[in-house]
Structure formats: C-alpha cells, structure tokens
Amino acid sequence: MKGLKKLYLFAFILGLIFLAACGDEEASGEDNGEFEEKDYPSTVTIGTASQGGTYYIWGGGLATLLENHLDVTSNVEVTGGPVHNIQLLDVDDVQLGMVTTGPLFEGYYNEGDWAEKEYDDIRVIFPMYDTPFHWWSSADSDVTSITEHEGERVGIGPSGGTPGTYNPLIYDALGIETGEQVAAGASDLASQMLDGQLDHIGFSAGMPIAAVTEVETQMDINIYGIDGEERETVKEALPYFEDFVIPAGTYDSLDSDEETIAQFNFGVVQKDANEEFVYDLVKAYHENIDQMISTHASAQESEDPETILRNEEYPMHPGAIRYYEEIGIELPEAVYPPEWE
C-alpha cells in the first residue's frame, strides 16, 4: 500500500511539473506553435549591398534582431544595392530589403533607365538613415572638388548600388566628363586606392563608411562634398536629393563640417508579406533600436519612430501602418496602399 501511495504521489508531482512548464511556455509566447499560428516565414533573405558598405553591416544587425525577437533565421545576401534589392524583392529572391529614395522613386514610378516596369508592389516598413554622397581623393593629387574629376579615372561604387547608379548621373548633370568610371564595392575601391590604382572615389552610405576609415588610417586623403551652384544644379536634375551636412570629426580627415547631398533609406518588403510578421518586425525594430545603433551608429537617426514621416509618398505595408498608428503617429494619406482596409 505504501508503495502504491508513493507511486500516486510521484505521478501527481510529474503532472504539476508538466502543467507549470506548459504555463510558462504560453506566458512567454516564445514557443514554436505561436509562430506557426502567425504563419511567420521560417527564414528570410535580407538584400543588402557590397561588403564594406553600411547596408551589409545593417543586414547583420537585422538578422540578429529577427532571430532574437521573432525566432526567424535569416540569410544576409550580398547584392548590388538598392536597385538590385528592388529587383530581387520583385521575384522573391529576397524578402526584406534596403533602398534609398532615388531607386525607390525610379522603381515605383518606372522613371529610371534600369526599371523595366513599375515596381509598385514594394512597401515601406521602417526608416533607417540618410545616405550622404561624398568623395575622397589622395592628398598627393591635391583634388578637393568633384569638378576636378574631369578626365580622371574615378571609383563610383557598385553597379546597381546607390553610388554606382547616381555618381554617373551627378557627373552628367554637372557636365563633367570623367575618364574611366570604375564600378566596384567599397572595400574593392579602397584596396585599389591603397594600391595606387585610383586617386578618386565617390561613395554614399551611412556614416562612417568603413572603407573611408580603412583608407585614412593608411594614407592622407581629402574628403569633400558638393555645395553652392553645383548642388542646386544636381538637385534640379535629380529632385530626390536633399541638402546634407557631414559633421566635422565624422572621419579623422574631416576637420570641418562638409556640405553635400543625400538620399534617405527605408526598409522595404513586397505587399504580400505576412502582416503579422511585418507588424512584429517593425515593433521589434523600434523597441530594440539600441541593438541596431550598436550595430551601426547611423541607426541613431531612427531612434524616434516619427522618422517614418520622412516617407511622404510611397505606400507602406499594412503591418507597419498598424504599428505606427498604435503608437499615435499620424501618417500621410498618400502612404496608405490600395490593399489597406
């Protein structure tokens, strides 16, 4: 009889342990069942840009965010940049991408030479940072202005990326006929400059750009932007550019503020992305923005969720809209997509 009582007691304790474990799992909301109910993707591919650029660093930060807070694994894909990301999103080769306002404008309205169609299924979900355009030359060249690139061999950034797409257009707007324009990623261009193959590089990314920091630790360079009449000429030809000031001290070689031009960046998905997934991603992004700032300092620009108001015309995903409305942000009417109910 005593043995039977002990058996009952043992079974009772096991039952309590099982119920407690189930309760903890339900309370935490971290069990796989919940994610299956929400129909989350099991994995996503994040479209970035070339290695050595800010997008690639951000891609790693977003991958960590997804795994830590949504239990979704990610692949960080090296791409040609924003133009390429828009194209890859359209064919579902990536599910989360990063774009600047120039390619977003050209793709959405089918205005760019690269756009074969209207990429009007793209949806904005969160703000990122400004991408200023700046140029640097070897100090030995004595070049301190883009106008001095006439006839010179210049690095313009990766083909399909923001600098690779818009540096040639900036030269055209200013009537500057350069020599060979070398299309390559930031790290590759930096290596060419250090090897003496390039004297001038133009690039755009969230600051500080790792490639610039790498170069200036090994050689003297001149860093410069664009201002005055030249800047107004570029903005008239390419209206998605805005004025921007690179603060002194951003790089060791920059002793004073530098006037230039910039485009803003947004995280984007396609309109058919799962609404609960997008909502939870945007929520996790803003509630853990310190994690992104620790990944790259440029994320400080989106510390305030109201930075999403930098988007005044491109449609947003309903999952993102729901989050911003819940925290009291009044979005422009133009960003509500046709599928919004």
Could you list the residue range(s) of the whole structural domain that residue 256 is in?
Answer: 132-263
117 and 232 fall within a common domain: no
Token output for 61: 């930060």
Pair 126, 267: CB distance under 8 Å: yes
DSSP character string of 53-120: SHHHHHHHHHHHHHHHHH--EEEEE--S-HHHHHHHHHTTS-SEEEEEHHHHHHHHHT-STT-SS--T
For CA atoms 33, 37, 39, 45, the dihedral sign is negative
One-letter amino acid at 49 equals A
- Asked if residue 230 belongs to a domain, the reply is yes
- How many residues in total does the chain contain? 341
Give residue 14's pLDDT band: very low, low, confident or very high (50, 70, 90). very low
Question: Can you give the CATH number for the domain in which 124 is found?
Answer: 3.40.190.10
In a domain, 160, yes or no: yes
Q: Are 278 and 319 in contact (CB under 8 A)?
A: yes
- Nearest one of 118, 92, 93 to 104, comparing CA atoms: 118
Band of residue 4 on the pLDDT scale cut at 50, 70, 90 = very low
Residue 29 maps to a domain: no
Provide, rounded to the nearest whole percent, the portion of the chain with pLDDT above 90: 77
Q: For all residues of the chain together, what is the average pLDDT?
A: 89
Q: What is the DSSP letter of 316?
A: B
pLDDT confidence bin for 186, thresholds 50/70/90: confident
Residue 205 lies in a domain: yes
| pLDDT value for 37 | 55
Please say whether the beta carbons of 230 and 218 come within 8 A: no
Question: What is the distance, to the nearest Å, from the Cα of residue 98 to the centroid of all Cα atoms in its chain?
Answer: 4
The answer to whether 103 and 164 are in contact (CB under 8 A) is: no
Is the pLDDT reported for residue 33 higher than 70?
no
Q: What is the DSSP string of 111-140?
A: -STT-SS--TTEEEEEEEEEEEEEEEEEGG
For 236-293, write each residue's pLDDT tens digit. 999 889 999 999 999 999 999 999 999 999 999 999 999 999 999 999 999 999 999 9
Number of domain units in the chain:
2
In angstroms, the CA 198 to CA 193 distance is 5
* Domain annotation covers residue 11: no
Q: 179 with 275, same domain?
A: no
| Cα–Cα distance list, 153 to 4, 90, 107, 110, 179 (Å) | 90, 34, 29, 31, 5
- 158 pLDDT more than 70: yes
The answer, yes or no, to whether residue 200 has pLDDT greater than 50, is yes
Does residue 207 lie within any of the structural domains? yes
Share of the chain above pLDDT 70, in %: 89
**90 domain-assigned:** yes
